[in-house]
Amino acid sequence: MSDQAVRNSAFLKAARGEAVPHTPVWFMRQAGRSLPEYLKVREGVAMLDACATPELIVEITLQPVRRYGVDAAIFFSDIVLPLKAIGVDLDIVPGVGPVVADPVRTLADVAAIPDLTPEHIPYITDAVRGLVTELVGINGGTPLIGFAGAPFTVASYLVEGGPSKEHARTKALMFGAPDVWDALMRKIAGISATFLRTQVAAGASAVQLFDSWAGALTPGDYARYVQPHSAEVLAAVGDLGVPRIHFGVGTSNLLDLMGDAGADVVGVDWRTPLDRAIPVVGDRSVQGNLDPTLVFAPTEVMTARAAEVITAGRAARGHIFNLGHGVIPSTDPDQLARLTEFVQSYPLD
Ligand code: 1CP
């Protein structure tokens, strides 16, 4: 078992578009509230404190790998962790999400946000190193996915001050104050790029850029106000030789642009059938996209739908099975175990 084994894992092969021994599978938010072992280690520990404690990061990241034998681990952290690390006054409020004390609205607000350096996040480097050492010995070598928030999605939390449905203030800034918008997006792009580079430098084998809320945009606005900045983040890790996954929710009209931003793999949510997504993303791999609520259906209904996803994924350059968005906290872990087993043992042709 070695780095070579990790490089030859089904997950990385699919990401590179090479032949795979089985369809690789992992789940967005595979660590977290659906797991009793997660709830146990998080008892009395605030989310952002957990994200700054290497032993907890390692343990929580490994929990779903041990339980399900998924084909990749995703680093346990949050898209707002880098902001916290540079001193932005924010918290992750249970049941709500990230809440920012002083929302960013002006050029002076943007100028007051420091750039991120690896020295701000030594616990990230330590945790990635610890994880990579452990993961090399799990299931013949399991890759670690590093991640960051894309500029638009992170900007939404900074500008709104918390979770938002409409992203109205964010888009008002984008439309009404393009100079402030541009400065903010450049600032976040630099922060996300450093966050990704730090994880890869410490041993992460792939990265995922989460632009969860990009689906709020028209293709024209995405291309003009957002894509160049996400492209900057993806380009910043282009020399590191790791596959880049680019994911958003409700992005059926943006999949080509998200691919063109510099992705090797385009993440697709469950609303867009893969047979529609694949011609749009062209010569890239795809990741997705079972409706996350199908785990609440009878097992044979869930697996029948998973089979459809796998079959449709065959037309892509490479396919990584996932849910169309994160694991819903009330998900039964035993259903995810059955789903993992089903995907990994599904005949190749
Ligand atoms: O106390 C808790 O358990 C809080 C719940 C929680 C968890 C488990 C939050 C708060 N973040 C996380 C971890 C997390 N966040 C991971 C690693 C876990 C894994 O994937 O196994 C990742 C990749 C994220 C990324 C993240 N955070 C995204 C992008 C992914 C997505 O789901 O679209 C987003 C949008 C966030 C913001 C955020 N953090 C937490 C919540 C509840 C939210 C969403 C709030 C909202 O609806 O706006």
* pLDDT given at position 349: 77
Atom of ligand 1 nearest to the CA of 210: 29
* pLDDT given at position 236: 98
Centre of ligand 1 from the C-alpha of residue 2, in Å: 31
pLDDT at 17 over 70: yes
| Tokens matching residue 303 | 């697996």
Residue at 256: amino acid letter? D
* pLDDT given at position 104: 98
Residue 37 belongs to what domain range?
A: 3-345
Query: Per-residue pLDDT tens for 217-262?
Result: 999 999 999 999 999 999 999 999 999 999 999 999 999 999 999 9
Whether ligand 1 lies within 6 angstroms of the CB of 73 is answered as no
Name 284's Cβ contacts closer than 8 Å, sequence gap at least 6. 259, 263, 264, 265, 266, 316, 317
Query: Per-residue pLDDT tens for 64-121?
Result: 999 999 999 999 999 999 999 999 999 999 999 999 999 999 999 999 999 999 999 9
ipTM > 0.90 for the complex: yes
| Residue 119 DSSP one-character state | G
Whether 33 is catalytic is yes
- Give the residue ranges of the annotated binding site for substrate: 29-33, 78, 157, 212, 325
Query: How many domains are contained in the chain?
Result: 1
| Residue 28 DSSP one-character state | T
Atom of ligand 1 nearest to the CA of 38: 3
CATH number for the domain harbouring residue 159: 3.20.20.210
Mean pLDDT of 1-6: 81
How far is residue 13's CA from residue 253's CA, in Å, rounded to a whole number?
27
Q: What percent of the chain shows pLDDT beyond 70?
A: 99
Residue 115 near residue 190 (C-beta atoms within 8 A): yes
Q: pLDDT band at residue 1, thresholds of 50, 70 and 90?
A: very low
Ramachandran bin of 288, using left for φ above 0, alpha for ψ from -120 to 50, beta for the remaining angles: left
Whether ligand 1 lies within 6 angstroms of the CB of 98 is answered as yes
Whether 305 is catalytic is no
Query: Per-residue pLDDT tens for 241-250?
Result: 999 999 999 9
Mean pLDDT of 41-68: 98
Mean pLDDT of 43-47: 97
- To 5 degrees, how large is the angle CA 28–CA 34–CA 37? 110
Centre of ligand 1 from the C-alpha of residue 18, in Å: 31
